[in-house]
């Protein structure tokens, strides 16, 4: 699936090769700190999730250093990242915190073209989920 | 033919009543009409405040299934009942007149607003319904953009929840309480003082012994200030009244039913009013001479009425008024005879004003039976204590109050009649029964079957404990699943990995687990793989399994930077070594501290600085201290026979040997050793996982010591060992632990679980015939050890990850800010940050 929004504004941040599978990296997108995660699902499809790098509970920029995982199974499986600070678990697709609904991460759209990863600096409300 | 039951009021208690009736009315004797004044189906009023932390009104709806979906129920949303005719047996709504065979009044309460001038101004709210919280939120949001202030009138449970909600909305709140302390109905003077400090610590102002006199309007006609009886005025953009409730008994009054002195529909022990087949339940009912403002007693009444409707004779047994404040970060609980009103009652008090903790137990005159208590600041023992009401404590009451006593295991002694879940009135007996007779095999099933733990959740730890104990008793294996992805314990997984020879996570989870893994199972697998000697922590797909500490080989700090701890075996260090560490700290601007483990910690290293720092340390002869790993930390030593007048062996030499032998060994949890040169024990070796104490003839070996949360002294394992036997015995002890312990289980609980005698047999007598195997595993570890940091520095691929931002490798996190304190720097606090604002303090590269 590829979601592309019009209006330009996309920022190229790195190459796909710089993303370690199942592990995060942080990038600067117009002064915002964004955490990118490269994840492959059971069907072998690759996704790059982009969420805020700041842990809202710890007020520190660490989300990209969390452990990637999942919650639920089959249709209900949600890809997650656990913050390294106090282990809050966030849904990578929606930014929701599954362990404490009072915090959430902003979610960004990503787009991969020609091996380059782009991030849209405007956070979205809807789940942004983009495959290569 | 079925009969018609009319329920007036669609609140929490009505919901329970209907759910229970649908469940138990197997003959389908009743057809139910539910009239709800509120435009929504019954919802969880107790959890109302969670609306402000993101729970939508839909999230608050009660029950798994929609009541209206049952053909036996008709729900009339917005169907306010305006009249009740008990003779004609009808109720009237705007839509018409409905007949009934039986009627239940479950109209609850309304918020009471004291008669102060201006209480009806725009901007003044009550706190009872979904509509109330939505209106309150909208009012505040519409005024955001400038600093807002608010007043909550009433410092009880509800007032504090409301103050928490205002605070969460960014409003600076003041709580005005008429009594001389907060929560006067639940806590005593000491508890009130502790609670006040906690609430003020959150940034909420507290005025006690203060009466509200009037609300004043501003230019726009909206509320602007609150005046107190003593004349002081508090500015307020919003005011919330949380000054109690009044039963909604108006229908009953007009219908001529008996009303209590302080309101409420008077009912007998069977919840019946003076009119046959007309009942009242929940907050509107005045039973045993009083109304109850809690959901627990209401639910009991609901069950009583259901029983009666089905021909039973149940009566209301009285109820527990225990309460626990549901405010994030504020722990308050009060239960039983909290004010020691029972003749002869004794009070046992523990107070730690520095930590903000106040705990009191009320016990019978012989100090044996628990009558009640108050817990402020640390209510962790509430779940275990509350069900003990009226029962013998079984130990010195003090043991329950001291910090170490908070986890006192009691479930075994709980009488069957003890109420474990007061929200849903479930006793220990019912929970045990769910396991033994109803066939429940896990916590989820017991919750569904008994409803225990499904409301406020504060009883869950205890319910879980009871369920597990009961399962174990009946021989059922209690699930020791690691997490939702693996149905095995760590020890089982260790065997699987070791036997199958699988060496990467993807294969292991594909063949023995489900999903993608998580922050629990991934590090466990990483640790197992490391114990089996699969190479560098960052090799291949192991990198994705590591917690950030292991991943970057440093310890994460609160601001997202890391600390660096070079190994200093046995705490012995040369002046040159000290100077080298000092120089590195100086050049990188790191905060330095001597740790409790006899070495030096350097704090505040940024991710991108770690390789440069380690390059310098490695060049100076240092190696990783594994302060980040679940692995050997330190071997603490005393100075021993080389200098000490009393030393009988060279404890430093022994400690150095042990530290170098076990460095890098990955384990279920961290490992600490200690070696003392004589029985004076200056190295505190008996507080360690493995303690060695010199004797005239050699070494005494102790195992299973622990500091931390549950301190334990190590126990004597073997006496007067020579050096070779000592080392071999420790080898085996550690390896056996590494292979069989649970995730994050330190040696103390592991020894307790296996029994020291059994471990002695395995290790000293080789009862399992595995000693050769354990020896070989340790030899492999010792032989293959290499310094992780030196290896990383030599590998450009591994170094590539040490950047804060991949698209700007030179940049550091711009949000880091520091202030100087006692000659060194430390992270700025949130308030200092705003002061520093803009450009952050300079940090050296
Ligand atoms: C630095 C140090 C405190 C100090 O300034 O002295 C320290 C610091 C931390 N300790 Fe500790 N502990 C330190 C000595 C101790 C000691 C004393 C000792 O080792 O002699 C104990 C009690 C002894 C024991 O472990 O039995 C101790 C018991 C704990 C515990 C509780 C363990 C338990 O079994 O209950 C934790 C929590 C845990 O590991 O889960 C902990 C966890 C931590 C963590 C890792 C918390 C964290 O996750 O951030 C701290 C961060 C370390 C860092 O470098 O950033 N620390 N900690 C000490 C480092 C020693 C070293 O050189 O490696
Ligand atoms: C913020 C908050 C936190 C709370 N926390 C706790 C807690 O931690 N623990 C605890 O035990 N309790 C707590 N309570 C109290 C608990 O919510 C009540 O005890 C419980 O809801 C009472 O249930 P009820 O069914 O009797 O009344 P309600 O839930 O009030 O329901 C009565 C319903 O009847 C409707 N009604 C009234 N008159 C009519 C009519 N004429 N026609 C049709 N419908 C009518 C009302 O609109 C209302 O919807 C809390 C309450 C609040 C507001
Ligand atoms: S006791 Fe240990 S974990 Fe707690 S603050 Fe001190 S260093 Fe951190
Ligand atoms: S005590 Fe509230 S859910 Fe059990």
Query: The CATH number of the domain where B62 resides is what?
Result: 3.50.50.60
What three-state secondary structure class fits B514?
A: coil
Residue A58: inside a domain = yes
B218 lines ligand 4 (CB under 6 A): no
pLDDT on residue A4: 37
Which one of A75-84, B494-503, B537-546 scores highest in mean pLDDT?
A: A75-84
pLDDT on residue B419: 80
Burial classification of residue B297, based on how many CB atoms lie within 10 Å of its CB (0-12 exposed, 13-18 middle, 19 or more buried): buried
Q: How far is B186 from chain A (nearest CA, A)?
A: 28
Residue B482: inside a domain = no
Give the Cα separation of B805 and B469 in Å (integer): 50
Give the Cα separation of A21 and B802 in Å (integer): 16
| pLDDT at position B839 over 80 | no
Mean pLDDT, range B806-832, rounded to an integer: 91
Residue B147 lies in domain: 124-243
Higher pLDDT, B162 or B536: B162
> Do residues B402 and B420 share a domain?
no
Q: Who's near B788: CB < 8 A, 6+ residues apart? A: B536, B537, B553, B624, B626, B664
Q: Which residue has the tokens 């599978």?
A: A21
Cα separation values, B204 from B182, B228, B695, Å: 12, 18, 59
> Do residues B506 and B603 share a domain?
no
Q: How far is B517 from chain A (nearest CA, A)?
A: 5
Q: Where are the alpha helices (DSSP H) in B255-294?
A: none
At B413, the pLDDT band (50, 70, 90 cuts) reads low
Q: Which is nearest to B337 in space by CA: B325, B324, B349, B320?
A: B320
Residue B119: inside a domain = no
pLDDT in tens, B652-692: 999 999 999 999 999 999 999 999 999 999 999 999 999 99
At A91, the pLDDT band (50, 70, 90 cuts) reads very high
Q: For residue B328, give the chain A residue with the closest CA.
A: A102
Q: Answer yes or no: are the C-beta atoms of B352 and B360 closer than 8 Å.
A: no
Chain B CB contacts of A39 under 8 Å are: 516
Q: Who's near B773: CB < 8 A, 6+ residues apart? A: none
> Do residues B227 and B346 share a domain?
no
Tell me how far the alpha carbon of residue B158 lies from the centroid of ligand 4, in angstroms.
Answer: 18
Give the Cα separation of B205 and B21 in Å (integer): 46
Question: Which of B51-65, B213-227, B514-528 is predicted with the least confidence, judged by mean pLDDT?
Answer: B51-65
DSSP 8-state code for residue A46: E
- Across chain B, what does the average pLDDT equal? 89
pLDDT on residue A130: 35
Burial classification of residue B416, based on how many CB atoms lie within 10 Å of its CB (0-12 exposed, 13-18 middle, 19 or more buried): exposed
- Continuous segment of H or E residues that includes residue B124: strand B124-126
pLDDT on residue B540: 64
DSSP 8-state code for residue B64: S
At B467, the pLDDT band (50, 70, 90 cuts) reads confident
| pLDDT at position B843 over 50 | no
Give the Cα separation of B143 and B224 in Å (integer): 13
Chain B CB contacts of A28 under 8 Å are: 805, 807-808, 811
Question: Touching check for A3 and chain B: CB below 8 Å?
Answer: no
Query: The CATH number of the domain where B438 resides is what?
Result: 1.10.10.1100
pLDDT on residue B570: 97
Mutation test residue for ligand 4: of B298, B453, B466, the one with most atoms within 8 Å of CB: B453
At A2, the pLDDT band (50, 70, 90 cuts) reads very low
pLDDT on residue A6: 36
B201 lines ligand 1 (CB under 6 A): no
Residue A113: inside a domain = yes
Both tokens assigned to A44: 């072998």
pLDDT in tens, A53-70: 999 999 999 999 999 999
- Continuous segment of H or E residues that includes residue B98: strand B96-99
Q: How far is A5 from chain B (nearest CA, A)?
A: 23
| pLDDT at position B152 over 90 | yes
Residue A6: inside a domain = no
pLDDT on residue B403: 62
> Do residues B346 and B452 share a domain?
no
In degrees, rounded to 5, the angle at the alpha carbon of residue B600 between the alpha carbons of residues B598 and B605 is 150
> Do residues B142 and B258 share a domain?
no
DSSP 8-state code for residue B367: S
Residue A12: inside a domain = no
> Do residues B397 and B422 share a domain?
no
Residue B810: inside a domain = no
Give the Cα separation of B730 and B771 in Å (integer): 12
At B838, the pLDDT band (50, 70, 90 cuts) reads very low
Higher pLDDT, B625 or A114: B625
Q: Which of B515, B527, B798, B800 to mutate to test the interface with A (most CBs of A within 10 A)?
A: B515
Percentage of residues in chain B having pLDDT higher than 70? 96
Q: Could you give phi then psi for residue B448, rounded to 5 degrees?
A: -65, -35
Interface of A with B in 91-120 (CB under 8 A): 100-102, 104
Question: Which of A36-40, B227-231, B246-250, B343-347 is predicted with the least confidence, judged by mean pLDDT?
Answer: B343-347
B48 lines ligand 2 (CB under 6 A): yes
Neighbour count for residue B193 (Cβ, 10 Å): 17
Q: Answer yes or no: are the C-beta atoms of A93 and A109 closer than 8 Å.
A: no
Mean pLDDT, range B625-635, rounded to an integer: 95
| pLDDT at position B631 over 70 | yes
Mean pLDDT, range B798-810, rounded to an integer: 91
In degrees, rounded to 5, the angle at the alpha carbon of residue B208 between the alpha carbons of residues B202 and B211 is 125
At B818, the pLDDT band (50, 70, 90 cuts) reads very high
Residue B481: inside a domain = no
Mean pLDDT, range A9-37, rounded to an integer: 89
Question: Which of B191-195, B324-328, B613-617 is predicted with the least confidence, judged by mean pLDDT?
Answer: B324-328
Residue A39 lies in domain: 21-131
At B458, the pLDDT band (50, 70, 90 cuts) reads low
Q: How many domains does chain A have?
A: 1
> Do residues B556 and B540 share a domain?
no
Tell me how far the alpha carbon of residue B828 lies from the centroid of ligand 1, in angstroms.
Answer: 23
pLDDT on residue B642: 94
Residue B117: inside a domain = no
Q: What is the ipTM of this complex?
A: 0.68
At B73, the pLDDT band (50, 70, 90 cuts) reads very high
Query: The CATH number of the domain where A74 resides is what?
Result: 2.102.10.10
Give the Cα separation of B565 and B310 in Å (integer): 71
pLDDT in tens, B83-125: 999 889 999 999 999 999 999 999 999 999 999 999 999 999 9
| pLDDT at position B409 over 50 | no
> Do residues B764 and B704 share a domain?
yes
Q: Answer yes or no: are the C-beta atoms of A31 and A119 closer than 8 Å.
A: no
> Do residues B752 and B666 share a domain?
yes
Residue A3: inside a domain = no
pLDDT on residue B516: 87
Q: How many domains does chain B have?
A: 7
pLDDT on residue B407: 43
pLDDT in tens, B342-380: 888 888 888 887 778 899 999 888 888 889 999 998 887
**Distance between first and last Cα of chain A:** 8
Q: Which of A52, A69, A76, A108 to mutate to test the interface with B (most CBs of B within 10 A)?
A: A69
pLDDT on residue B97: 95
B698 lines ligand 1 (CB under 6 A): no
Q: Where are the alpha helices (DSSP H) in B547-650?
A: 548-552, 575-588, 610-619
Give the Cα separation of B6 and B36 in Å (integer): 11
DSSP 8-state code for residue B499: H
Question: Which of B190-204, B467-481, B551-565, B828-842 is predicted with the least confidence, judged by mean pLDDT?
Answer: B828-842
| pLDDT at position A31 over 50 | yes
């Amino acid at each position: 699936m590829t979601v592309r929004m019009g209006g330009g504004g996309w920022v190229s941040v790195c190459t796909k090769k710089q993303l370690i599978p199942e592990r995060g990296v942080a990038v600067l997108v117009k002064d915002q700190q964004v955490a990118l995660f490269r994840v492959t699902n059971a069907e072998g499809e690759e996704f790059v999730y982009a969420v805020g790098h700041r842990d809202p509970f710890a007020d520190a920029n660490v989300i990209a250093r969390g452990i990637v995982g999942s919650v639920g199974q089959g249709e209900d499986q949600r890809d997650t990242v656990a913050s390294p600070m106090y282990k809050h678990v966030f849904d990578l697709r929606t930014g929701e915190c599954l362990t404490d609904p009072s915090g959430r991460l902003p979610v960004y759209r990503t787009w991969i073209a020609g091996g380059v990863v782009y991030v849209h600096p405007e956070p979205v409300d809807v789940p942004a989920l983009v495959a290569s | 033919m079925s009969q018609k039951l009319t329920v007036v009021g669609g609140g929490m208690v009505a919901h329970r009543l209907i759910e229970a009736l649908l469940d138990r009315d197997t003959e389908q004797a009743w057809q139910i009409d539910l009239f709800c004044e509120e435009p929504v189906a019954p919802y969880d009023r107790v959890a109302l405040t969670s609306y402000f932390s993101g729970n939508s009104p839909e999230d608050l709806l009660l029950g798994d299934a929609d009541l209206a979906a049952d053909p036996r129920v008709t729900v009339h949303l917005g169907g306010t009942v305006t009249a009740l005719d008990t003779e004609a047996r009808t109720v009237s709504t705007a839509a018409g007149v409905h007949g009934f065979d039986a009627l239940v009044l479950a109209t609850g309460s309304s918020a009471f607003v004291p008669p102060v001038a201006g209480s009806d101004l725009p901007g003044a709210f009550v706190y009872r319904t979904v509509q109330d919280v939505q209106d309150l939120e909208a009012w505040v949001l519409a005024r955001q953009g400038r600093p807002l202030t608010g007043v909550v009138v009433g410092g009880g449970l509800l007032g504090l929840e409301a103050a928490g909600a205002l605070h969460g909305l960014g409003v600076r709140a003041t709580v005005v309480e008429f009594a001389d302390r907060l929560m006067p109905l639940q806590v005593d003077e000491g508890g009130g003082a502790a609670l006040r400090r906690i609430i003020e610590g959150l940034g909420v102002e507290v005025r006690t012994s203060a009466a509200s006199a009037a609300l004043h309007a501003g230019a726009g006609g909206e509320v602007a200030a609150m005046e107190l009886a003593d004349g002081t005025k508090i500015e307020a953009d919003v005011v919330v009244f949380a000054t109690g409730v009044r039963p909604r008994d108006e229908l009953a009054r007009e219908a001529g039913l008996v009303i209590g002195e302080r309101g409420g529909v008077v009912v007998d022990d069977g919840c019946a009013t003076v009119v046959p087949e007309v009942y009242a339940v929940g907050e509107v009912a005045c039973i045993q001479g009083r109304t109850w403002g809690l959901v627990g007693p209401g639910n009991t009444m609901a069950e009583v009425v259901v029983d009666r409707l089905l021909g039973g004779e149940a009566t209301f047994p009285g109820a527990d008024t225990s309460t626990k404040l549901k405010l994030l970060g504020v722990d308050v609980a009060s239960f039983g005879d909290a004010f020691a009103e029972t003749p002869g009652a004794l009070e046992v008090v523990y107070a730690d004003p520095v930590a903000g903790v106040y705990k009191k137990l009320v016990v019978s005159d012989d100090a044996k039976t628990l009558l009640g208590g108050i817990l402020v600041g640390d209510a962790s023992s509430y779940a275990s204590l509350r069900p003990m009401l009226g029962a013998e404590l079984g130990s010195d009451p003090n043991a329950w109050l001291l910090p170490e006593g908070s986890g006192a295991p009691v479930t075994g002694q709980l009488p069957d009649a003890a109420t474990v879940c007061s929200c849903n009135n479930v006793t220990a007996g019912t929970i045990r029964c769910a396991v033994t007779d109803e066939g429940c095999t896990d916590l989820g099933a017991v919750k569904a079957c008994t409803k225990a733990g499904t409301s406020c959740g504060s009883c869950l730890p205890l319910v879980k404990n009871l369920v597990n104990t009961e399962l174990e008793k009946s021989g059922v294996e209690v699930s020791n699943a690691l997490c939702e992805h693996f149905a095995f314990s760590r020890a089982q997984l260790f065997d699987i990995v070791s036997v199958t020879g699988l060496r990467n996570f993807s294969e292991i989870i594909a063949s023995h687990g489900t999903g993608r893994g998580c922050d629990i199972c991934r590090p466990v697998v990483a640790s197992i793989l490391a114990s089996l000697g699969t190479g560098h922590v960052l090799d291949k797909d192991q990198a994705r399994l590591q917690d950030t500490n292991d991943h970057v080989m440093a310890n994460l700090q609160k601001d997202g930077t890391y600390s660096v701890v070079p190994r200093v075996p046995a705490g012995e260090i040369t002046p040159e070594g000290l100077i080298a560490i000092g120089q590195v700290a100086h050049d990188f601007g790191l905060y330095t501290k001597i740790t409790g483990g006899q070495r030096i910690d350097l704090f505040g290293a940024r991710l991108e600085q770690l390789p440069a720092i380690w390059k310098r340390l490695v060049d100076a002869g240092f190696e990783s201290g594994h302060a980040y790993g679940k692995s050997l930390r330190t071997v603490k030593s005393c100075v021993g026979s080389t200098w000490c007048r009393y030393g009988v062996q060279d404890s430093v030499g022994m400690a150095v040997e042990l530290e170098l032998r076990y460095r890098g060994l990955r384990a279920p949890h961290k490992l600490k050793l200690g070696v003392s040169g004589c029985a004076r024990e200056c190295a505190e070796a008996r507080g360690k996982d493995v303690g060695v104490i010199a004797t005239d003839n050699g070494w005494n070996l102790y195992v299973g010591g622990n500091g931390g949360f549950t301190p334990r002294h190590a126990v004597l394992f073997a006496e007067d060992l020579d050096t070779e036997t000592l080392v071999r015995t420790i080898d085996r002890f550690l390896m056996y632990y590494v292979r069989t312990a649970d995730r994050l289980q330190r040696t103390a609980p592991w020894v307790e679980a296996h029994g020291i005698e059994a471990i002695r047999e395995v290790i000293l007598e080789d009862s399992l015939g595995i000693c050769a195997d354990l020896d070989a595993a340790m030899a492999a570890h010792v032989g293959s050890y290499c310094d992780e940091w030196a290896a990383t520095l030599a590998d450009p691929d591994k170094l590539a990850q040490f950047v804060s931002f991949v698209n700007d490798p030179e940049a550091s996190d711009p949000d880091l800010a520091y202030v100087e304190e006692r000659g060194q720097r430390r992270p700025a606090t949130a308030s200092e940050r705003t002061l520093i604002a803009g450009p952050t303090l300079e940090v050296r590269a």
